[in-house]
Amino acid sequence: MTHARVVDGPGGLRELVGAHVGFSDWLEVTQNRVDQFADATGDHQWIHVDPQRAAEGPFGATIAHGYLTLSLLPVFIPQILDIRGFPMSINYGCDKVRFPAPVRVGRRLRAGAQVEAVEDVPGGVQLRMTVTFEIEDEPKPACVAEVLTRHYP
């Protein structure tokens, strides 16, 4: 199990600018998770939810929705960073998101994060990180996202 790097307050975040801050644990992407995401979003495209048809498709198996991969940020980021000293933090969005490789059901993902910037915003700070979702034993990442979170002391 990964131990998150503890960071305290704005000063602690600023010290990390330019640093790769670690990796999460590996997480298997199951068909059940994909099916639940399809139900939650209404996206039941066969490439995600029909294992028999997908076996004959371009990837040889069902694949996770790209946005399912991105939605794992709240699972992975706390395994990488334990940000303290802020009673409130919010997801502010993403400036850039790409899905370079499909995630076949049964494969394992993890995230790595690099702190790009810490900027002052009214009442707090904005953390900009590049998060790369790796697929175990695959050369290309599943997702690369520039993620923005705001932290308010």
Residue at 34 is within a domain: no
Residue at 12 is within a domain: yes
What would the pLDDT profile of 58-82 be if each residue is shown by its tens digit? 999 999 999 999 999 999 999 999 9
Residue at 64 is within a domain: no
Please, which pLDDT band fits residue 151 given cuts at 50, 70 and 90? very high
What would the pLDDT profile of 22-45 be if each residue is shown by its tens digit? 999 999 999 999 999 999 999 999
Residue at 44 is within a domain: no
pLDDT at res. 72: 98
**14 - beta bridge partners?**
none
User: What residue numbers bound the domain in which 106 lies?
Assistant: 5-28+72-152
Residue at 23 is within a domain: yes
